[in-house]
Amino acid sequence: MNQNQRTNKEFDSHNPPADWLLSDDAACELLEGTRPFLSPEYPGLYSLSVPLGVTYLIKERAGFDRTAMLRHSMYVWLAVPQTPALLAVLEKWAIYGTHDGPKHYRLELLENGSLYLKYQQILGGRKIAQIPKALVDQLVERIAAELPGVLLPALAKKGVKAASTRTVADDMSQLTVVDGRIKLPSERLHHYGTLKRLLEQAGASYNAGGSFSFPPGIDATEVLGRLMAGEKINVQQQTQFFATPESLARKMVTAAISAARELGHVLMPAPKVLDGVIVLEPEAGQGALALVARELGAKVVCVESYPVNAAVLRERGFEVHERDFLSLSPADLGGKFSVIIANPPFSRSQDIAHVRHMLDFLAPDGVLSVLTSTAWVEGTQRAHESFRELLQQYNVVQTPVPAGTFRESGTQVGAVHLLISNPVPMEPEIGSARLELLEV
């Protein structure tokens, strides 16, 4: 048995290593290219099969009667174009290689969000992504919006008048804004579930009595207008706000405390270890990290650009600079900081840009405890390579954060914790002791 055979035998195609899975951004790009067809003939595109419940939702939200469609032999196929990320998967794993990929492979989405690349002619395949529910919802809404343009002309050719139900847009036109809330009409809505999801993704919460309210900082009239214009609003994706779990927040703050002591900082005894220390939280969210630092005695300076989160922070008694952190200089916040703790946005290498900027705010004897995506660790983009080169100029402890840690916050992605002290030329140290063993 050669090495490749041994590796294939040990590889679990249903639970592959995290670095074999597409990132959320890559999965989003893949699904955004999905298009509906009325025939299985779509040269150059990969067939995508989805759970039966998803196909029902698509037809319902498009306003078509499933029974009528079947009566007139109207079947819908979904197909996906090849993306750079999918091509990379084929180059890394597929036995038929990358030539004429759609002839040899197809995609299958399961109810649990697992996306598989499977062979067309033989049994087998492997999981290539874990699709968040929000992306599946977006897929449903997008295909539902495109379906009438595909189905209606085909039905007209058969001389059939489409049996259409009330559409989501029809139902949405019945919504009104009263006292800053979006009010439901008294008559039954055909697409209440869809409207509820759209409103919740836009930041709303349902109230008994038939209305949806928004936190301070979100204007209900503006939201309804954008939704009625066809815009899809997803606050979490747009802000990249995924709250740091409390257990992880405590480990991050504790790791910073330990590093500060090693650098010679004289800290107070427990429980107010950080008494007198000014801590910067440049991506404060709703204060998961800041609350832990304050509990230990620190004064925390928070930067948060999203008005809703900024309002929550003020309610919790924090000093908040409601600005984009990347637009600030140390002078804007009163100087540099001996301790910085942060969980910045990950997508599109924003984490790299934010960490670079945080280092400008770090005092010469300071310590930065920060989370990043895993993309830069082995990534081949110039941004990834230059970030690895940058870290070689510092004393760095690099610790993996397992996939699923942020499950309750709405994402399954793994992360990396970096503990950076300023600056000691040294190769990054790979290990987990700093995060796993230190406790407050």
Q: Which residue has the tokens 């080169």?
A: 389
Q: What is the mean pLDDT of the chain?
A: 82
Q: Which residue has the tokens 């038929």?
A: 96
**Quick one: tokens of 372?**
């990043």
Residue of 184 and 432 predicted with greater confidence: 184
Give per-residue pLDDT as tens, 46-89.
889 888 878 777 777 666 666 666 777 778 889 899 888 888 88
Q: Give me the pLDDT at residue 109, please.
A: 92
Residue at 373: amino acid letter: S
pTM beyond 0.75: no
What confidence tier does 101 reach under pLDDT thresholds 50, 70, 90? confident
Of all residues in the chain, what percent carry a pLDDT higher than 90? 30
Q: Give me the pLDDT at residue 65, please.
A: 64
Q: Which residue has the tokens 């009409």?
A: 185
Query: Is residue 435 predicted with pLDDT exceeding 60?
Result: no
**Quick one: tokens of 187?**
């008559």
Task: Name the CATH code of domain 246-437 (choices 3.40.50.150, 1.10.3720.10, 3.40.50.720, 3.30.590.10).
Answer: 3.40.50.150
The rounded distance, in Å, linking the Cα atoms of 169 and 136 is: 20
Give the CA distances from residue 34 to residues 30, 98, 224, in Å, rounded to whole numbers and listed in that order. 7, 20, 27
**Quick one: tokens of 86?**
């999918």
User: Beta partners for 64?
Assistant: 164
The rounded distance, in Å, linking the Cα atoms of 119 and 102 is: 10
DSSP state letters, 81-141: ---HHHHHHHHHH-TT-STTHHHHEEEEE-TTSEEEEEESSSS-EEEEEE--HHHHHHHHH
Q: Is 76 helix (H, G, I), strand (E, B) or coil?
A: coil
Q: Count CA atoms within 13 Å of residue 230 on its CB side.
A: 4
Q: Give me the pLDDT at residue 241, please.
A: 77
**Residue ranges of the domains in the chain?**
3-157, 168-239, 246-437
Give the CA distances from residue 122 to residues 7, 45, 114, 223, in Å, rounded to whole numbers and listed in that order. 21, 19, 20, 49
What confidence tier does 325 reach under pLDDT thresholds 50, 70, 90? very high
**Quick one: tokens of 357?**
């900027």
Residue at 221: amino acid letter: T
Q: Which residue has the tokens 């847009």?
A: 169
